[in-house]
Every structure is written in structure tokens, then in C-alpha cells.
Structure 1
Amino acid sequence: MRTSAITTLTSSFSLLQRARPFACGLLLVLGMPTATSCTRSATTPVGGSPRSEATVQPIDIKRLLAVADSAAQAQITAGLTPGMSVGVAQNGQLVLARAYGKANVETGVDVGSITSYKVGSITKQFTAAIVMRLVEAGKMSLTDPITNYLPDYPTQGHHVTIHHLLNHTSGIKAFRVMHEENRQRFRLDLTYPEMIEMFAKQPFEFKPGEKYEYNNFGYYLLGEIISRVTGVPYQDYLERELLRPLGLSNTMYCESSRVIPQRAAGYEYEGKTLINARYLSMHIGPAAGGLSSTVGDMLHWTTLLHGGKVVSPASFRLMTTPTVLANGDTIGYGYGLQLAELGSHEQIFHTGGANGFVSALAHYPKNGLTVVVLANSVKANPATITKALSRTALGIRVRDLPLTPDNIARYAGTYTYKSGAKTRVLKVYEESGKLHAQVTGGPAFRLRSQGSNVFIPSGNDDNQIIFTPSADRAAGLTIREGRWEVTEAKRQE
């Protein structure tokens, strides 16, 4: 079966030093669809309690710092973003925090220790946490139909539950924030009735629970439901009942008219020209992507969430349980959290994007490691830096073990696999004493041996090709992209 992957810190954080820069995947290559500073030793407390099973692994701080500086400066120099903040913590202790470039290009303000960025869809885990707290309080249930709270919502005969909204399986038509037509609409402070009139009457994409499709509108609806259950506007309830009690003083609803200390300006590019990000009303999705925050608060929040300080252990297990569709396929998404792996390390993460900003936040529970990258341009790639820092901190290195001619002969051959309705052909062959592979019509890539019949393709360190051993040659292979994206291929006789 093929499945789809889809704080405040303590005052010591103010020691953050500035770094002044010069002051999809293998399955796409294979033609397959995919789902959806301060440099210190690890002694600075971030807050909260680490999970008991987290194991501290020694981190090469010097190497981690070099990777952070190099990766951030490369993106700034390449004109991908004016500014960026990077943070790493382990088991509640600050390991590294760095600030790069400009928070505001027009005024020449540098990124600092508490520069605030819009964090986009990282907001969803906060929304999911509020829902779970309300469930714990007996004020709602995950199996409740949304019409219990939104009685006039046009479900078109479908049974849509809170659960379906949380894990993006509702089938409700999703809106694309950055679609040009929507960008014009979303300059307005649209009301709930206006949003329903505009989007809710469109046909469902699929039956609830049948498929997964990332859906901002679903989280917009969760925000409305939270408001109706609590009798308080979502953004007010979020700050009063969650953010302030947890000490997240630099995390807040980022309404444009609000005065937010140390707020970074957001940017876009027209060609190679940097421009101010176009206005987008936060009314279109406060519960989907309405927060702004800092590196420090993101690290602190993650420590608290994973340390049992936000929701109960049972609720957190539900938030981090992958979604199983009606056909039995598994999706690497829980409630407001994406679930994957990096190397052999379990990864709980989310990325975010808003007008002028992008972000990435990743946590590795068995190691107690958290990495966050925030940038003030939609062109930046924080996920790439997050991954590089995570690999460095976790000590993940791709090996390239030598192969004998007999080894190469055992793996060489032609393999076929299904990609949707199409049959793909993967040729594995020897060239200059190395093992290579190529899908018909696609680029060639080298296979680097990790031992035990496992290979990692050049150009994508996250994926694996695992050969199935047989007598004198491999009988087939498995393509793995993450924890649940698994595709079987058979040797062609």
C-alpha cells in the first residue's frame, strides 16, 4: 500500500549577538506526486520541562554556528530575503540564536534578539491546542459535527466534524491565499457571513475523511467555532487564555493596525526588485495564520507543548497521531502538526507563510531538539536551513560507502513502479565504478551506499532507495520519502 507523507526565553536571550552577512524531492524527480545571535553551550533555559524520554546528544556548537551563518548569509546574499532569525534549543536549553540582515530595509533597522515576524501557518498548532483544551474541558468533542456550532453552514449533505477540520480531511473547498483573485478580495476585512458566501457554497472536493488536502479555510472555521464556544473572539481568547498564561509575551495576533514592538517589515520581489509586501487582512484567517512571534517564543512554545504544559498527554498524542484515511492510507499530519522523519529521527514540524514572511519550526522528540528559522521575505527558504541545522545538531551525515563490482552487479537492472495511474521505469546502472539511477525521461542521479542495501540519492538526502536482497541480485526495491511515503518497485525480467 502506498501512503502519502505529506517564550519567551529567559533574560539570557538578550545576549544574542548579531551576525552581519557581508555586514520536491526524489518522488518529483521520479515523476511521482507528493502530499501536501547568541552562541552558547546548552545551558540557557528556554522554559518548561523537557519530555522524559528525550536524550541529550552532544552538539558541535562550532560546526552548528558555521552552518547557520553560512546558510543564512547565502540566502541574504542571493537576494532571497533582507533578514532572518535562527534559533536552536535542546531539552529546554538554548543552544544557539542568531540574527542576520535587516528587519526593515527602509529605516535600516537590523534584525535583533526579539525581532517579531509573522509566522503564518505555525499558528495552526496553537489553534489545535485551544481546541484540545476545550475538548478536555468538556465544551466540545472532536466527533461533533461542525453544524453544532455553525448551524447555517452549508455542508451539502456531508458529515463534517471538528476532527476533519483539524487534519485537513473535511473535503471543504480550500481557498488559495496567494491566488491573485483572492489577494484582491483579502485586502478587505471580510466578515464571517461574507467568507461563507464567498467560499462555503462551492462544491466539496471529496467526502470527509476520504482524502487529505491542506485547507486554510478549515482552520478559519475552527477560529469561528472557538469564538462561539467561548463567547470571545478567537484572537482575544488565544491571547488571554493561552499566550499570556504561558509567558509568550512576544507572540500575538498580528493585526496590521496594532503596534507590535520590534515588528519586522515583510517583503516580496518583483523579478529581482525588492518591494514591500502587499497588504493582506488578517481577518481572513486568524486561526489559520494570524500570529506573529520571535525565535525565543517559538522555542519556548515548543518546549511547553512537548513538555506537557499546554495540553494533556492524551490530547498531545492525538495532535501527533498521523491521519488514517478511509482507504487505510496514512498521512503525515496530526492536528496542526506535520509528522515526518529526518534520517531515523522522528520529526514534528510545520512551516508557515504570510504576506512578506516565511517560517519553519521543527522538533525532534527523542533528542529534545528544536530548530526555528524566521525570515521577512516570501522568497526565502527557511525549511532548507532548518533541515541543515537539524542534520548538524543530530549528527546526521550521508555516507558514501565503496561498492565492489559484485555489489554493483547485484543492484543494477531495470525496475518498474506505479506513479498514480502511470507505470514508471527506473534504470539502475554502473558508471565509473559508481551506482547511478535514472527514470526514463528524467535526470540521472547517483546512489550513495549507506550499507545494508540502503542508498541515498544525490540531490536529496531525505529519501532512500532500499533494495530487496535475493540470491545473486536484488529482487526489487522500495522508494521511501519520509515515514509514510513508500513505493514498491519490482525488477523487470
Structure 2
Amino acid sequence: MKNLLKLSLTLLTAFCVSTDVLAAQTALRVGQAQSGSLSTGDTLEFSFEASEDFILYGEVNQSSVDVVIRLVNAEGQGLGQWDGPARGRDAFAQTLNESGTFTLRVAPFEDEEGDFAIEILQLEERSDDPEKLADQLMFAYDRPGGPGGAVRVWRDGRTLTSKTYGLADLTHGVEFDSDTPTNIGSTSKQFTAFAVMLEREAGRLTLEDDLLDYFPDFPDFGETITVRHLLNHTTGLREFLNLYAITGADTRSLTRDDVLRAVERQPALQNAPGAEFNYNNTAFSLAAQIVEKTSGQDFDEYVRDHIFQPLGMADSYVRMSPDVIIPGRSDGYTPSDAGWSAPGDLGGAVGAGGIYASIEDLERWGQNLLSPRIGTKEMVEEMMTEFTLTDGEGSGYGLGLFIDEQRGLKRVHHGGADVSHRSMIVYYPELNAGLTVQSNASTFNSGGTAFDLAAAYFGDAMEPEEPSDAGGGGEFDPESYEPADFERLAGSYSLDPAPNVIARFWFEDDTYYGQLTGQQALEIRPTSMNSFEFLSVAARIVFEDDEPAPGLTLFQNGQEVHATRLDDEEGEEEWAPSVEELEAFVGRYFAQEVETFYEVVLVRPDEDEDDDAEPYLEARQLRMGEMRLRPTEEDTFSAGGLTLEFERDRHGGVSAFYLDVTRSRDVRAERIR
């Protein structure tokens, strides 16, 4: 159940490994598997040669041991780390930015022992030809018997590339095709925004309408939430998937009524409308329901009649619930100990997600946004205009679309991630161009793949890649980075969308580290004087100028999360409560808003097993199981992506705690004993 609590950033679920015993290296060659056996504390090394800008992909078959894979260069510098399912195949992939000898270190997870086999399946120079590059980037999704994907690129009304890979349905061996409907997840939000705009064009609503006009049973929060706020993620409402996750609910079983109940039971707004960008599926669910109210049609019928059919999108559907049959659709898959599993789709996703579309149809849709036949140019321009928050800062979002730049070109895009499907569609309005990538595998990096391909196909119209700010131009040499340069960056930063989640960065034992609240420390590597990349996940950080750096932006899968530096006295040292202090939090708590009980207990480890183990707090919930609580600051604990901030009464006794799970904050649980 720990997956219910993780943040959307996969930084929060990576593991770090300490290795003890290094064995002699074994040479690895493409297509030749090497077997190994691990005992507790072992690390086996496998080496290979590669040149700069080579693409690496391989797999470890964990027949009887859960392994952690770490890639290092000739100097022993970490380049990447992977830890997937405990059994079966665990993949590793990396673009190598240097030449030389590389080593894959394979170690058991924790104290496991057993056998495995490792194999490099792809090791080749990154192609300058865009079509060949697409094949290289999709290599992992064209494996025998595995899930697949699709790529579609267009410019000036002409299809440049249409490629499909792998299987859409593993059970029946059905191949992915260009007309295969696939779950595009949150990429659906732009369709919802477009439907709202069509209703405005028809005179049936305005973007300044009060939410209470459509949902009179909602609480009056004292501030007006408008339809526009719904479409730009600034409502202040709870995000329903995050909210129900803290109850241990299976998000696949949720319905649209659960979305309404979440708002009806919310006691206060999380922020003033228009003041804060907080990515929010609740809002887009409500937007779709408003379209139903103004049009008199169910949302699937409305989108079919007003968007899909007029544009000739014959292989696109709004799936109103996970039990609705979509003809010829791709099924979604995620790795498990037994191989690929098919966990199904999210429930209650209509409006926020829920659309199945083929890549052929997504091009038709994209062409219409760039040169409207349905809707108007002014309508689309409004969707593609960044919303300005009440403090004057840009939100990076328009109406159902993210807005930024790529090497000087305006870039408009939106990704999607349902339980297993992954999606991205990106537009370059100045070029009248766009592309989409889709996959039915949860391991697919849709944002990275799409933006890489965009640079390959449209790089002729982009500004040249900027040389790293290493002083002399050219490739940045991480070895040239001095710890003294890091001093203005080191410190603690609070994530703007989740202020209780702290990102801390420091230098220790010749290594740079980053760590999020309650998580393992992860090694980071400098890529310029202001930017670093995480080695164990596909994510990077860019620090702001000034001394010290006032903030940073975390980039992953096409998403950006800003964080603000804390004062030196804030967040630098973790609170270390005594056993007596921990005992004050023990008790049973009830969260009225979500009707959920939590038990906080003091765990005393068995001294016979570990003499150094200290007592700690654990939160327990019926469906979520046990969650170790790690102290962060006084009266505040974290467990994965969940933060508990305890409240005391006027006598100093612990009386309640407030739950914070990224996009849903300040859910109160009162102590009842």
C-alpha cells in the first residue's frame, strides 16, 4: 500500500544502496547474458566499453533475489541507479554522455540472497536521423511479448512520422497500431477545457461563472471559485486522488460522486482562488460535469458529437468508468514480481482523464488546435496563454495546457499518466507542428521521449543548444565543479505545492546529495554551475542565481515544481525527539473529513536483532498498513509522501494532527484517546 502515498515525483520512491564486498569484474557484451549469485553484502561488477552519446538498455532477471543496479564510470562516479520489482525482470537504461569503461554494480536489496542474470540488449550510438532515433528511444517498448507504444509527428499539415511498437494487448498478442485507442490520462484535460470553451462560444456559460451556480450544495468558502479557476488549477480545492489515498482507498474504485463528496466535506480552501497553482484533478472533473449541466448531454456524448466526430476522430472515446468497453483498446501494464500485470484504470477520472485516443486521431486533434476548424483561433490562443497568479507570478499553465519554451520556441504540452498508460502531446505553434508519444507501460518516460524527439525533428527552427556555463564553453565537466561553488546552493527548500515537503541539498565525503522529506538521500551530479541531475531517477534541479540561491525548480517528465529556500534556521537540522517525547504522540486519531481512523504507536525494536535500534513512531491504518514516522521538525513527522503535523492544546498535550499529501493539505485528524 506504500504506493498510495508516494508523490507524483518518482524521486520519492528511489532507493540508495550501501555496498560492502566488491567482486572481480566480468565483461558484458550485447546480447550475452551473464549469471551471478549474491550473498548478503556482496556486489558483483560487470563492465563494458562505450563511446560518448551511446544509448544503453538492459535487463536483470531476478530469479531468486531482489537486486539494485548501479551504473558508474571509469572514475567510479555514479551515473544511474535502478530498483524495480523484487522478482522477474528489472530494466536499466541510460544515455551515456562520455566515453570509456563503464561498470554495472549489482547488489542485493537489503539482506537478500539468491541468483540473477544480467544482459545488455541495446548499446549503440544515438542517431542523428530522427526516425532512427525514435526507434532507439522506443527500443524497450518493442520487446517480444511486452507492452508497446506509438510515435506520431506532424508539421504544416503533413505527417512526418507514424510508428508503432510492441503489443497493445499481451493476453491476445495484439500489436499496437496507429488506430489503436490508448488511454491518454491527463492529456485529456485539454479536451475538457476545449469543451468548456465551446459552451462559452455557444453562450451557455462564462469563465467567470461562480462554481456555486452549478453546485449549490457545495460549501460557501467565502471566496468565489470561477470556471476559469477550474481550468488553470488555482481553485484551492483538495485533489481527490491524493485525498482518498490517505484513507487507503483503491483509486480504481472511485466514482464521480466521490469527487463531489470530497468538495462537499472540505472545511476550507487550501489557498485563495487564483493565488496558487496546485495541479488538481478535482477541478477538471467538475468542469466536465458543468459541460453536462449546460449542454444537457453526458460528457462522452458531448465530446463525441462536438469534437470527435467533426474532426474525424473515429478511434477516440471518453471512458465514463473503468468497466466501459472500448473497442480495440490497448490495455495498460506495470512491472510486477510475476512479470507484467494489468491493474486497470483510475476511477472517477472523467474530465481529468478518461479519454482513449489513437495517435492518428491525436494528430487530427493537434492539427485543429494549430489551425482550428472546430472552435476559434481566439479560443485556442486563450487556452495557450499562461495564467498570471494574484502575486504577479506566472503559473506555467493556460487552460488545460502547460506553457513554456524549448530552445527559444514556445512549447505547449500536456502529459498523462493513468495507472499504467503514459502519454504526451506537445505543440509548437510558431512552427504549426506537434507530436505525440504514447505507451501502455507504466515505465515509459513520455515527457523525456517527446521532448527529445521534438529537438530531433524541429531542431532546425530552435536556437542552438546553449553550452554549459563551465567557463570555456563545450561539454560541462563535472570534475571541474568545486565544493566551494556549491555553498550558495546548499540548504533546504520547501516545495511550493507541498510546503511541508522539504528538499535538502549538501556536500559530504566528496559527494553531492539531495533528499526529500522522509526519503533516502540520493546522489546528484553537476551538469552546469547551477544545475544538477539525480543519478537514480530521470530528474534534474536548476538553482536560481543570487547568493544564496533563493529557490530552485525540479524538472521531471515534462513537469516543473518550484521550491523556495528556507531560512537558515528552518529545516537545516532534523528534530530528534527522546523516547519520552515520542510517547506523547501515541494514541488513536479520527479524520472526520474522510471518516478514517489512524493509530499512532511506539515501536520498540527487538534488541536481540539490533542493539543500535532506537524506538520510533509508527502510524497504522486499516488499509494502508504500517508507516514508519520519521521526525523532521518539532511536532512534525513524515512517512513517504505523507506529512503529519501535530497540534497541541493550551496545556501542551497532543490533541490532533494535520495530514499533508502533496496536493491535498491540512486534513485534520482529532485525537480520540
Same fold (TM over 0.5): yes
Q: What is the CA distance between 1:397 and its match in structure 2?
A: 4.5
Structure 1 distance, partners of 2:206, 2:470, is 56
User: 2:380: which partner in 1?
Assistant: 316
Which amino acid in the other structure matches residue 493 of structure 2?
S
Structure 2 distance, partners of 1:122, 1:137, is 24
Measured at CA, do residues 247 and 401 of structure 1 come closer, stay the same or move farther in structure 2, by a change above 3 Å? same
Measured at CA, do residues 117 and 423 of structure 1 come closer, stay the same or move farther in structure 2, by a change above 3 Å? closer
User: 2:205: which partner in 1?
Assistant: 140
User: 1:102: which partner in 2?
Assistant: 167
Match of 2:400 among 333, 336, 350: 336
Measured at CA, do residues 191 and 475 of structure 1 come closer, stay the same or move farther in structure 2, by a change above 3 Å? closer
What are the Cα deviations for residues 204-251 of structure 1, in whole angstroms up to 9, with x where unaligned? 322222212111111111111111111111111111112111221111
User: 1:86: which partner in 2?
Assistant: 151
Which amino acid in the other structure matches residue 415 of structure 1?
R
Match of 1:229 among 271, 290, 294: 294
Q: What is the CA distance between 1:152 and its match in structure 2?
A: 1.9
Which amino acid in the other structure matches residue 262 of structure 1?
G
Q: What is the CA distance between 1:314 and its match in structure 2?
A: 2.7
The correspondence of residues 157-306 of structure 1 with structure 2, limited to 5 A, is 157-176=222-241, 179=245, 184=250, 186-187=252-253, 190=255, 192=257, 195-203=259-267, 204-255=269-320, 256=322, 258-271=324-337, 273-278=339-344, 280-281=346-347, 284-306=348-370
2:507 paired with 1:419: no
Measured at CA, do residues 121 and 410 of structure 1 come closer, stay the same or move farther in structure 2, by a change above 3 Å? closer
Report SS of the residue matched to 2:415.
Answer: strand
Q: What is the CA distance between 1:439 and its match in structure 2?
A: 7.7
- Compare 125-134 and 268-277 and name the one that shifted more: 268-277
User: 2:391: which partner in 1?
Assistant: 327
Which amino acid in the other structure matches residue 71 of structure 1?
L
Q: What is the CA distance between 1:135 and its match in structure 2?
A: 1.4
Q: What is the CA distance between 1:349 and its match in structure 2?
A: 0.6
- Compare 292-301 and 149-158 and name the one that shifted more: 149-158
Count of matched residue positions in the alignment of Structure 1 and Structure 2: 412
Which amino acid in the other structure matches residue 265 of structure 2?
K
Q: What is the CA distance between 1:343 and its match in structure 2?
A: 2.7
User: 2:24: which partner in 1?
Assistant: none
| Contact kept? 2:238, 2:263, Cα under 8 Å | yes
Report SS of the residue matched to 1:274.
Answer: strand
Structure 1 distance, partners of 2:274, 2:261, is 24
| Contact kept? 1:337, 1:349, Cα under 8 Å | yes
2:223 paired with 1:149: no
Which amino acid in the other structure matches residue 194 of structure 2?
A
What are the Cα deviations for residues 325-362 of structure 1, in whole angstroms up to 9, with x where unaligned? 22222211111101122232221110112233111111
Measured at CA, do residues 112 and 151 of structure 1 come closer, stay the same or move farther in structure 2, by a change above 3 Å? same
| Contact kept? 1:253, 1:290, Cα under 8 Å | yes
TM-score between both structures, scaled by the size of structure 2: 0.53
The correspondence of residues 306-455 of structure 1 with structure 2, limited to 5 A, is 306-395=370-459, 397=465, 399=467, 403=471, 413=485, 414-416=487-489, 419-420=493-494, 443=523, 445-448=525-528
Which amino acid in the other structure matches residue 169 of structure 1?
T
What are the Cα deviations for residues 380-436 of structure 1, in whole angstroms up to 9, with x where unaligned? 22222112111212336464688459xx89997442587349898889xxx9xxxx9
Match of 1:70 among 136, 143, 163: 136
Q: What is the CA distance between 1:456 and its match in structure 2?
A: 6.2
Measured at CA, do residues 476 and 212 of structure 1 come closer, stay the same or move farther in structure 2, by a change above 3 Å? closer
Measured at CA, do residues 218 and 410 of structure 1 come closer, stay the same or move farther in structure 2, by a change above 3 Å? closer
Which amino acid in the other structure matches residue 151 of structure 1?
P
Measured at CA, do residues 480 and 201 of structure 1 come closer, stay the same or move farther in structure 2, by a change above 3 Å? closer
Report SS of the residue matched to 1:287.
Answer: coil
- Compare 412-421 and 115-124 and name the one that shifted more: 412-421
Which amino acid in the other structure matches residue 128 of structure 1?
A
Structure 2 distance, partners of 1:272, 1:340, is 40
| Contact kept? 2:493, 2:565, Cα under 8 Å | no
| Contact kept? 1:149, 1:228, Cα under 8 Å | yes
- Compare 393-402 and 125-134 and name the one that shifted more: 393-402
The correspondence of residues 102-141 of structure 1 with structure 2, limited to 5 A, is 102-141=167-206
| Contact kept? 1:127, 1:223, Cα under 8 Å | yes
| Contact kept? 1:118, 1:354, Cα under 8 Å | yes
More strand by share: 2
Structure 1 distance, partners of 2:383, 2:453, is 25
For the aligned residue pairs, the C-alpha RMSD in angstroms reads 4.1
User: 1:51: which partner in 2?
Assistant: none
Q: What is the CA distance between 1:296 and its match in structure 2?
A: 1.1
Q: What is the CA distance between 1:466 and its match in structure 2?
A: 8.2
Structure 2 distance, partners of 1:380, 1:237, is 31
| Contact kept? 1:86, 1:98, Cα under 8 Å | yes
Q: What is the CA distance between 1:77 and its match in structure 2?
A: 5.1
Structure 2 distance, partners of 1:198, 1:487, is 29
More helix by share: 1
What are the Cα deviations for residues 431-468 of structure 1, in whole angstroms up to 9, with x where unaligned? 9xxxx9888987453445xxxxx976567898767878
Which blocks of at least 5 consecutive residues in structure 2 are unaligned? 1-8, 10-56, 59-125, 474-479, 516-520, 567-673
| Contact kept? 1:252, 1:291, Cα under 8 Å | yes
User: 2:596: which partner in 1?
Assistant: none
| Contact kept? 1:76, 1:83, Cα under 8 Å | yes
Which blocks of at least 5 consecutive residues in structure 1 are unaligned? 1-5, 7-20, 23-59, 449-453, 469-473
Q: What is the CA distance between 1:316 and its match in structure 2?
A: 2.0
% identical equivalent positions = 23
What are the Cα deviations for residues 27-69 of structure 1, in whole angstroms up to 9, with x where unaligned? xxxxxxxxxxxxxxxxxxxxxxxxxxxxxxxxx9971112111
Measured at CA, do residues 104 and 398 of structure 1 come closer, stay the same or move farther in structure 2, by a change above 3 Å? farther
Structure 2 distance, partners of 1:218, 1:381, is 26
Measured at CA, do residues 445 and 477 of structure 1 come closer, stay the same or move farther in structure 2, by a change above 3 Å? farther
Structure 1 distance, partners of 2:442, 2:129, is 28
Measured at CA, do residues 462 and 65 of structure 1 come closer, stay the same or move farther in structure 2, by a change above 3 Å? farther
Structure 2 distance, partners of 1:142, 1:401, is 44
TM-score between both structures, scaled by the size of structure 1: 0.71
Structure 2 distance, partners of 1:213, 1:231, is 30
| Contact kept? 1:173, 1:200, Cα under 8 Å | no
Higher RCO by CA contacts (8 Å cutoff, separation 6 or greater): 1
Structure 1 distance, partners of 2:251, 2:551, is 45
Report SS of the residue matched to 1:366.
Answer: helix
Which amino acid in the other structure matches residue 122 of structure 1?
T
Structure 2 distance, partners of 1:205, 1:310, is 36
